[in-house]
Amino acid sequence: MPDLKTALTVALTQPAKAVKELIETTRNDFQSVKGKPFSTGVVVTTFNYIRDHPGCTSKEVNKILNAKGYPDTSVSSVITKLIHRELVNRDEDGRLNTTKLEYKLDRRHLKNRNKKPVTKPRAKPIPKWKPPALLPMPEPTVYTKPSLIDTITIREAKELYIELKKIFDKE
């Protein structure tokens, strides 16, 4: 196995050949079972590839994983999501590196995935205040002797007698 300096020199002078060799070695690294990749998903496979091959570009990852049966668009969107979740970072040259050693699913965004959004009931508008309607004034009751005697109780009659006595005894 050549040392790192020799491998980099060869890769820089013969990029097409180096990419083909990289594809072949990667095919051997990824074992397929019944035509499907062994990984549980494109996200884990993409993350593991970037972790195992630091400094690779998005095009290289797309090319390798496309050869394994993953669609280009899926791999590209996964790389973008990994960058946004800060599991992978991209340097100025466009090279990818992982920030974690292992991919762990962030369950925070799956918390309310299947629940319908809760809509708050709209508050009923408060009607404008209207002053209450004025009630008509009752007609003054005119008391006559028979109506007063028929409607007054004995206790009220005694109280009335005491009050009248106070008024008329003063004079």
pLDDT of residue 37: 42
pLDDT of residue 112: 58
Q: What is the pLDDT along the chain (171 residues), one digit of tens a residue?
A: 567 777 777 767 765 665 666 666 655 555 443 344 444 588 888 988 999 988 999 899 999 888 888 888 888 888 998 888 888 998 888 899 888 888 877 666 555 556 676 778 888 888 888 888 888 888 887 778 787 788 888 999 899 899 999 998 875
The span from the CA of 9 to the CA of 7, in Å, is: 5
pLDDT of residue 107: 65
pLDDT of residue 113: 59
- pLDDT tens column, 14-41: 656 656 666 666 555 554 433 444 445 8
Q: How far is CA 123 from the centre of its chain?
A: 23
pLDDT of residue 74: 86
pLDDT of residue 158: 92
pLDDT of residue 155: 93
pLDDT of residue 20: 66
The span from the CA of 27 to the CA of 21, in Å, is: 10
> Left if phi > 0, otherwise alpha if psi is -120 to 50, otherwise beta: which for 163?
alpha
